[in-house]
Amino acid sequence: MRDMRFPRFVVFWAISVAMLSAAAIAKDIKPCTAVTPVPRNDAWWMQRHERFNNRVKQGNADLIFIGDSITHSWENGGKEVWKKFYEKRDAVNLGISGDQTGHVLWRLDHGNIDGINPKLAVVMIGTNNAGHTPHQPAEEIAEGVKAIVEKLRAKLPETKILLLGIFPRGANDKDILRQINTKTNEIIAKLADDKMVFYLDIGPKFLQADGVLGRDIMPDLLHPNAKGYEIWAEAIEPSVAKLMGEK
């Protein structure tokens, strides 16, 4: 009978080829980091997160805003507008500068919404995913936003969600980050069921007729100033009042 055993070098070659092929395939399958809950390695960030947890333990949180630095800055450039529109509504600002969708997912799992039952959650997140290097594609960012909406629905089943389109950024629509945000908005708009989840894109309110984003509204072409926050509050006010059941 003929000896069918392969020489050792042939076996080694076959195994090596298989391992290299598997590695190549794995390299092409990139995990969607936008849906991975993860904290930030930042003491300041964790301290703010814990302040949120302590705040919600006090109750009286009928309205919550969830997001990144644009939401965070209701405490800065938007401070007076916040007092005018939201202070009387027992509103809580759950925005942290620099956050991406994965950071928000982690915070929602670690106390930011524990023990509360808001009437409404206003959510805007994703521009830092686009701005991160390398830029995350719109499809991944949309998956992160979807995960946040699903987590809110699971943890706060009686809370309505007003999902805002990511605000425009950059001088005009030639800006790659604005293009990513616009494409993301086209995808996340489909998350609305108009029963518990509602979508609203107020981005055009910030733009001139030719699509230019003025520095008189967003000086750094990303973050609103006081004028920008006034535009934001007035644009969502009809939806906020309706969804909170106000007359």
Residue-range domain boundaries for the chain: 34-243
Q: Quick one: pLDDT at residue 30?
A: 43
**133 falls in which pLDDT band (50, 70, 90)?**
confident
Residue type, 228: G
Q: What is the mean pLDDT of residues 130-151?
A: 94
Proportion of the chain above pLDDT 90, given as a percent = 85
Res. 132 pLDDT band, cuts 50 70 90:
confident
Q: Grade residue 12 by pLDDT with cuts at 50, 70 and 90.
A: very low
Contact 127, 222 (CB under 8 A): yes
| Poorest-pLDDT segment among 10-14, 105-109, 225-229 | 10-14
Averaged pLDDT for residues 176-189: 98
pLDDT of residue 14: 39
pLDDT at 232: 98
Q: Residue 234 pLDDT more than 90?
A: yes
Q: Which fold has domain 34-243?
A: Rossmann fold (3.40.50)
pLDDT at 7: 53
> Exactly one of 69, 90, 109, 135 is catalytic; which is it?
69
Count other C-beta atoms under 10 Å from residue 122's C-beta: 25
Q: What is the pLDDT of residues 83-92, one digit of tens each?
A: 999 999 999 9
Is 69 catalytic? The answer is yes
Checking if the pLDDT of 194 tops 80, the result is: yes
Cβ proximity of 171 and 125 under 8 Å = no
DSSP per-residue letters across 34-94: GGS----S-HHHHHHHHHHHHHHHT---SEEEEESHHHHGGGTTTHHHHHHHTGGGTEEEE
Average pLDDT over residues 220-238: 98
- Say what the pLDDT of residue 13 is: 39
Q: How many residues does the chain have?
A: 247
The answer, yes or no, to whether residue 125 has pLDDT greater than 50, is: yes
Distance from C-alpha of 161 to C-alpha of 152, rounded to nearest angstrom: 8
pLDDT-derived band at 33, boundaries 50, 70, 90: confident
Residue 16: active-site member: no
Cα–Cα distance between 70 and 229 in angstroms, integer? 9
Do the Cβ atoms of 135 and 177 come closer than 8 Å?
Answer: yes
Residue 32 confidence (pLDDT): 57
The catalytic residue among 103, 201, 223, 239 is 223
